Structure 1
Amino acid sequence: MSETTQTKETVGSFTMKVLNGSATAIIVSLLPSAILSTFLTPFAGSNAIVAALLHTVTVFQYFFAVMCGFSTAKQFDLGYTEAACVGGAAFLGSGCVTAVTTTVKGVTTTSFQLAGMGDVINTMLTAAVAVLFIKWVGNRFGSLGIVFFPILAGTGVGFLGSLTKPYVSLVTTGIGDVINTFTKLAPYPMCILIAMSFAIIIVTPLSTVAISVAIGLAGMGSAAAGFGLASAAAFLIWATLKVDKPGVQVAIFLGAIKMMMPNFLRYPVIGIPIALTAAVSTLSVPMLGLKGTPASGGFGLIGAVSPLASYNAGFHNVLVLVLVWVVVPFAVGYLMKKIFVDWTKVCKPEYFISPAR
């Protein structure tokens, strides 16, 4: 008789699976619009095909909630029926669809329309509750699961999520408003703090994109977050240059900074030069008034999303954008590498040997 062992789910492991599933959905849903909209918008007015494609990538991001529920469910290895139910529940809990009632000649009709991505945090919470419910029920429904899961885990949990959505939105928008307001009142210290925070977050299991979108990080705060990511990439490219294969630096530049997560968790001291690179590099944000959007704040140099967001926000000097977004972080990153790795030996070269090497 064979025995099967199952890893016991902890609060920490459960939370990380929800975060990872949500982060995957955010990146998949937002990346096409974040990158393509920048290039398509100038041509949308004169070309019908480009305009239609622009509409497509815009609508694509509105399916975030369904993607979030489904990808979260698959993190827990749920079946396709259960995953579809979690996706439906997340969609309802996101609040991305609103009912519009119109009265014409005494006849009242109700229609539904998309209202953006919805509330990211409430979407994640609804998906988590749906997963918990399905895990709790287990096989109790037997073959009738195909009937009861859509009713209870899908529409039932989704309905509960729709009830909590207004209250969760008040909290998340409030956090974003406070951060954005403080960024305007004290731009230099706030931009430095945001950049340092995101530079560290990118080498942890947390998703910078999810955090930026969830709290509605905009304006200079979004640009500062992008600088944090660009700075982390710049320093790590220099730090891995002599100890890793060239493919590691290419991967980091293209956005795979999280591949260095095991290094940071094992040697937290490498966070010091990463954070300092971000602190110095982000001074360009308040000096030049660079801005971004919640969707661009978590990408940095990936797809040139953050620099392009600054361009779209009104800073049209391309040469200066290249200078501050690329040259400055790499210059500061090189200096930090010399100080902390080569001169003071605070960080040893072997700290940056990538597990993917």
Structure 2
Amino acid sequence: MEELSKYKMGEFWNKLLSAVAMAIVVAVTPGAIISPFITGLAKHSAFWETILNASNLSMYIVPVAAGVLAAGEFGFNRIEKASVALASLVGSGAVAFDKGSWVLVGMGDLINTILVIAVAIVAVFLTRNFVGSFSIIIEPILCGTIVGSLGLWSYTYVHMISTGVGSVLNAITKLQPVLMCTLIAMAFAVIIATPLSTVGLAYAIGISGIAGGAASVGVTSCFMIVAIATFKANGKGVSLAMFWGGVKMMLANFVEHPRMFIPIAIVGAVTGFIDSFLNIQNGSAEAGFGQPVGPIDSFQYMSGNTGTNIIILLLIYYILPILISLVVYLVIRKFPKLYNSNDWKVDIDK
């Protein structure tokens, strides 16, 4: 109990959510990047079909990877890590019993997975000093069977809530695309610059379609404005890292200087507003990604001329966010209370 009490509530959840976010990114990336390029080839070649299957199968590891990584954040040993992973897999809903067989049905419900992992970690903390050498027997049963069963029970209700939130957002976005795309893009532009995971959030609530496209465009807009704003203070290397999504490197800067969120929010909102007229779409597994994953996935939802579609994607994911970011940067730097170049300086030695 003393070991658990040394973690403050915020620190506990931050460690857990960071681990889950990393598991999602690692598991989703192969399918998100590789699949769109070889799906057509896989229909005519056993070789490419194997590559496609391997890429898509990666996503099923999310509950197990999340459990292992989360347990690792708390310094658990191998038995404890494996036990937490058991609970995560059982309670995630990623595996369903259907007509006498166990069937993989996806990543499961992310919110339920997070709750199950949290319970499993607490359970290990509460019992580890009492089980001794019997840990190899007791902890797998405690986590895999007892905590896992709790997860199976809660899955139905948690999944109903999480999918309901996503359905409402997706439905409202279809009815009010201009307003919602603007708000969603702005929100995701800001969220990617915080410790929260846009990938985990998008998947957890099932945001997809036009709403998913707005989220991905919003994340990309953050990359662009941060890349431009950091260029003068840090040089080409750091700026290029931001362009390709390294904005989490600047978490300390964002916390210390909240005014940095102002240009990020503005660029996200304007880009999202323009996006609402282009009908860019994304799936829930890719909605939290910016470029290059975002445009790759968006291309799959587009019909019509291929060349035109590529131009549209280049516009909304690259050209317009860069131009909007340049304008916002040039304007906001004229207001010292809103902009200071030192805010954007990254200490890469930390």
**Partner SS, residue 288 of structure 1:** coil
Question: How many residue pairs were aligned?
Answer: 342
Name the counterpart of 1:25: 23
Residues 219, 291 of structure 1: 8 Å contact kept? yes
> Which residue in 1 is equivalent to 2:329?
337
> Residue 205 in 1 paired to residue 203 in 2?
no
* 1:222-301 mapped onto 2 (5 Å cutoff): 222-301=212-291
**Counterpart residue number, 1:306:** 294
The match for 1:126 is 116
Partner SS state of residue 99, structure 1:
strand
SS state of the match for residue 118, structure 2? helix
- Give the SS at the match of 1:243: helix
**1:173-188 correspondence to structure 2 within 5 Å:** 173-188=163-178
Say if 2:223 and 2:247, in contact at 8 Å, map to a contact too: yes
Normalised TM-score (structure 2): 0.95
Measure the CA separation in 1 of the matches of 2:347 and 2:154.
42
Kept after mapping to 2: 8 A contact 1:199/1:278: yes
Which residue number in structure 1 is paired with residue 95 of structure 2? Answer: 97
Q: Tell me the SS of whatever aligns to 1:141.
A: helix
Q: 1:296 to 1:46 in 2, by over 3 A?
A: same
Deviation at 1:116, TM superposition (A): 1.2
- Aligned pairs for 1:162-173 (under 5 A) are 162-173=152-163
For the pair 1:47 / 2:53, whether they are aligned, the reply is no
SS in 2 for 1:112: strand
Unaligned 5+ residue runs, structure 2? none
Identity of aligned residues (%): 36
Structure 1: how far apart are the matches of 2:302 and 2:312? Answer: 13
Q: Specify the SS of the correspondent of 1:282.
A: helix
Whole-Å Cα distance in 2 between the matches of residues 277 and 32 of structure 1?
29
Residues 267-311 of structure 1: CA distance to partner in whole angstroms, max 9, x if unpaired? 10111110000111122322111111111111111xx11112221
1:220 match: 210
C-alpha deviation, 1:6, in angstroms: 9.8
Structure 1 residue 72 and structure 2 residue 70: aligned? yes
* Alignment-derived partner of residue 316 in structure 2: 324
Kept after mapping to 2: 8 A contact 1:220/1:285: no
State the alpha-carbon separation in 1 of the partners of residues 283 and 329 from structure 2. Answer: 30
Cα shift at 1:167: 0.3
The amino acid of 1:85's aligned partner reads S
Cα separation, 2, equivalents of 1:99 and 1:261: 42
**Unaligned residue ranges in structure 1 (runs of 5+):** 102-109
CA gap of 1:246–1:99, structure 2 versus 1, over 3 A, is same
Cα distance, 1:320 vs structure 2: 2.1
CA contact (8 A) 2:183 2:272 kept: no
Counterpart-to-counterpart distance in 2, 1:41 and 1:60: 16
Partner deviation per Cα, 1:237-269 (whole Å, 9 max, x = no partner):
111111103221121122211111111111101
Deviation of the 1:56 alpha carbon:
1.2
Question: Separation in 2 of the partners of 1:229 and 1:165?
Answer: 29
**Counterpart of 1:107?**
none
TM-score, with structure 1 as normaliser: 0.93
Letter in 2 for 1:161: G
Asked if 1:142 is matched to 2:140, the reply is no
For the structure 1 residues 245 and 7, does the alpha-carbon distance in structure 2 shift closer, same or farther, using more than 3 Å as the test? farther
Quote how far apart the aligned CAs of 1:7 are: 8.4
| Paired residues of 1:220 and 1:290 also in contact (CA < 8 A) | yes
Amino acid of the structure 2 residue aligned with 1:220: I
